[in-house]
Amino acid sequence: LNNRFNLIINDFQLSLHLDISHISKYEFDYCLSSILPLPSVLLRLYSLHISNDETYGAIALFIRQYPYINIPSLRSLSLTDATISQIKFLFQKLSIKLEHISIVTNRTIDINDKRQLCQLLLKHKTLRSCRLSLCDGVDCDETILNNSINNQLENVIIDLSYFQNILTLLSYIPNIKQLTININQQKYYNQDYDAAAFDIVRLYIPIQLTYFNLNLRFSNVEFEHIEQLLNCLINLKHLCCSSFRVELVDGYRWAQVLERLPLLRRFECVMTTYIYHSLDLNLISQSFQTLFWKEKNWSVVCDYFQYLSRLIIYTIPFYKNLFTSTLNGSQSLNEFDDRNILPNNAYDKVTHLKVSVQGLHSDSIPARKFRFVTSLSLCDGESYSDHSNSSLLSYLTSTIDLTKIRHLKLYSLLSGHTLFSLLCKAPNIDCLSSSYHNLLQMINDFGDVWLCWLLNTMIKKLTLSYGRLTLSIVDQFIELFSNIEHLSLCMNMDDIDFQEILLKLLQNLTHLSSIRISLAGKLTDHFQSQTFTWLSTNSQLYSEFNDNFLDIWIT
């Protein structure tokens, strides 16, 4: 076996893919000191994925270890939660022959830095695919480039600031084949809307663009603007669209738009809106059941969730990974679902189910089947008593495979008995998110011994929002969560017990690999300097401040 491994290691014709985004600090340090320096690795490294997400400071440590790094064989680079300086540095050092790049970060980045980064990507001559997801998107306007385009980009996923940025971007990517756009701003236009812009952009529309995925994360875009854009993209074969605007839930108008796309073979949509005024829901549903939709064989489900006042219209199979439902289900508005003929794979792409615990589950309402859900969120209920326990568990057991759930997010206050029963039925949950005060109530201020024992046994990753951990209960907290590996919580930097609480956590949570602290109060230079000085005495820690977070990675 060793000989076979040696043959692989020494075979320079084989490419290596290195993902160091989700490993322990010990493994990370070993990789940087003992694996990357090997010529047999460095000269064959095809792809590299490195992240600051829970591996806090990993990219800074990588740059510190290899300030002059050169990887001539590198073709793919993925960076998660990097700072703008780290992105620029690594792009400058490693991008010469890159064909694929992914940059995803929630860090605060100056608008000019965003534009400069976008320029670098659009000017790159060897890139073929690119993902750029920055907080609030990029304002890609007509001034972002002032010379001719010579890129080879064929696949782009990008977050833009404004709807009109799409028009400019299309003129910068002449070879694009697949394009995914996420619009992040509530304001879709940074200046007055100009309909003539669509006439101009028709001259620059990439004729090879066959796949277009448009995600409108806010609600104030007009249907006519989407219509004019799609009228330009006449070679589309596959179109996806998601939105939150009531104007877009019009099957007749969509049919008119889609009929103008002669090559279109596949249409997927998720259109959600809140119904706060009088609308004829049956008329809306009927607009998606006409001869056009039937001839295209595009099955559309129209669901109305009364407790949420929410209407959702979507194609089947459902193409998003997040689905929101309620205990009492939805009122189906179309014959398609009433006949109970939804295919088995209708919701197979859903991995995150969000359930409002308002109302009671009824066995008479057909339950959706989500076969591959791994993350479950329970929300909207201000309180949840034992008499509703069976209703919640009945809904969940009829809807999902609880043994596949790994992450439980509690935005609702459950009773201790309900939570205990749920954990018993979902034995593979190892990640828990909750508010600090709700958690204390659910465990009866550490008094529910059996629930505390179960949480101690199961939970490896804990995220607490709101509330502050206090010195008076930190010892009980440590005993309860003695097995956690990743911790995220809130603390007040003005608290005189701040250092003592943090020291107790670091010393006594022996399995802890990383901790993120959301800091309440004004983050001063003095506090940062004082904290760095105090933490630097422990060589097993790497710490950094990220906006109002203190992130610590532990060997």
- CB distance 193 to 224 below 8 Å: no
Q: Cβ–Cβ contacts within 10 Å for residue 114, how many?
A: 22
pLDDT tens string, the chain, 555 residues long: the values are 567 766 766 666 788 899 999 999 999 999 999 989 888 888 889 999 999 999 999 999 999 999 998 899 999 999 999 999 999 999 999 988 999 999 999 998 999 999 999 999 999 999 999 999 998 889 887 777 766 678 999 999 999 988 888 988 998 999 999 999 999 765 555 554 566 666 666 667 788 999 999 999 875 788 888 998 999 899 999 999 999 888 889 999 999 999 999 999 999 999 998 876 667 788 888 999 999 999 999 999 988 887 778 889 999 999 999 999 887 666 666 655 544 578 889 999 999 999 988 766 556 566 789 999 999 999 876 555 554 667 888 889 989 999 999 999 999 888 899 999 999 999 999 999 999 999 999 999 999 999 999 999 999 999 999 888 889 999 999 999 999 999 999 988 888 899 999 999 999 999 999 999 999 877 888 888 888 888 888 888 999 998 889 999 998
Q: Which helix (H) or strand (E) holds 461?
A: strand 461-465
Q: How far apart are alpha carbons 274 and 244 in whole angstroms?
A: 8
Burial 426-437 (b: 16+ CB within 10 A, else e): beebbbbbbbbe
Residue 41 burial by Cβ neighbours in a 10 Å radius (0-12, 13-18, 19+): middle
Q: What is the pLDDT of residues 216-226, one digit of tens each?
A: 987 578 888 89
Closest CA to 374 of 453, 425, 428, 307: 428
Q: What is the pLDDT of residues 382-410, one digit of tens each?
A: 555 554 667 888 889 989 999 999 999 99
Q: How far apart are alpha carbons 277 and 289 in whole angstroms?
A: 23
pLDDT at residue 73, rounded to an integer = 92
Pairing of strands 100-105, 129-134: parallel
Longest dimension (CA), the chain: 74
Q: Measured on CA atoms in the order 491, 493, 495, 498, is the torsion positive or negative?
A: positive
- CA angle 508/514/515 to nearest 5° reads 75
| Residue 433, beta-bridge partner list | 409, 463
- CA angle 32/35/38 to nearest 5° reads 115
Number of helices (H), then strands (E), in the chain: 20, 23
Pairing of strands 352-356, 322-326: parallel
Question: Sheet harboring 541-546: ordered strands across?
Answer: 322-326, 352-356, 375-379, 407-410, 431-435, 461-465, 486-492, 514-520, 549-554, 541-546
Q: How far apart are alpha carbons 88 and 59 in whole angstroms?
A: 12
- CB distance 192 to 162 below 8 Å: no
SS3 state at 164 = coil
Q: How far apart are alpha carbons 485 and 12 in whole angstroms?
A: 37
Q: How far is CA 167 from CA 190, 233, 413, in A?
A: 13, 11, 46
Q: At what angle do helices 58-65 and 84-94 cross, to 10 degrees?
A: 40
- In this prediction the pTM is 0.91
> Can you spell out the DSSP letters for 66-117?
-TT---TT--EEEEES--HHHHHHHHHHH-TT--EEEEEE-S---HHHHHHH
pLDDT at residue 203, rounded to an integer = 65
Q: Domain extents for the chain?
A: 436-555
pLDDT at residue 339, rounded to an integer = 44
Pairing of strands 155-160, 129-134: parallel
Q: What is the pLDDT of residues 285-328, one digit of tens each?
A: 899 999 999 999 999 998 888 777 888 999 999 999 999 988 76
Closest CA to 354 of 393, 388, 380, 317: 380
Q: How far apart are alpha carbons 540 and 413 in whole angstroms?
A: 38
Q: Which two tokens stand for residue 525?
A: 């230079």
